[in-house]
Amino acid sequence: MKVFVVHDANGTISSYAIPAADMQGQLGLEPPRGQSVSEIDVPELDGIGDLRERLRHLDEALEDRRVQGGQLVPGRSGNRS
């Protein structure tokens, strides 16, 4: 499943957004100054239909990871919301 993450130049994740399944067009995610948005694939979420369960698994998948080259890699990810 594709997820949008907001992160700094070091890849430290500050927040994320899950696009709605039926959403068409672009997601209006505007990062704070000095932050970027990357679309990453989180295969751990594939097949999970329940939103609360998906969020729980996403928190676990992002724990102690950061973004590098558009992918999740091991490393401290920071606080997320």
The residue ranges of every structural domain in the chain are: 2-74
Please work out, in degrees rounded to the nearest 5, the angle formed at the alpha carbon of residue 47 by the alpha carbons of 24 and 3.
Answer: 50
Report the predicted TM-score, pTM, of the whole model to 2 decimal places: 0.77
Is beta strand 36-41 parallel, antiparallel or unpaired with respect to 13-17? unpaired
pLDDT by residue for the chain (81 residues), tens only, comes to 888 999 999 999 998 888 776 555 566 677 889 999 999 998 888 888 888 898 888 888 888 899 999 899 998 655 554
**At a CB cut-off of 8 Å and minimum separation 6, what does 39 contact?**
2, 3, 4, 70
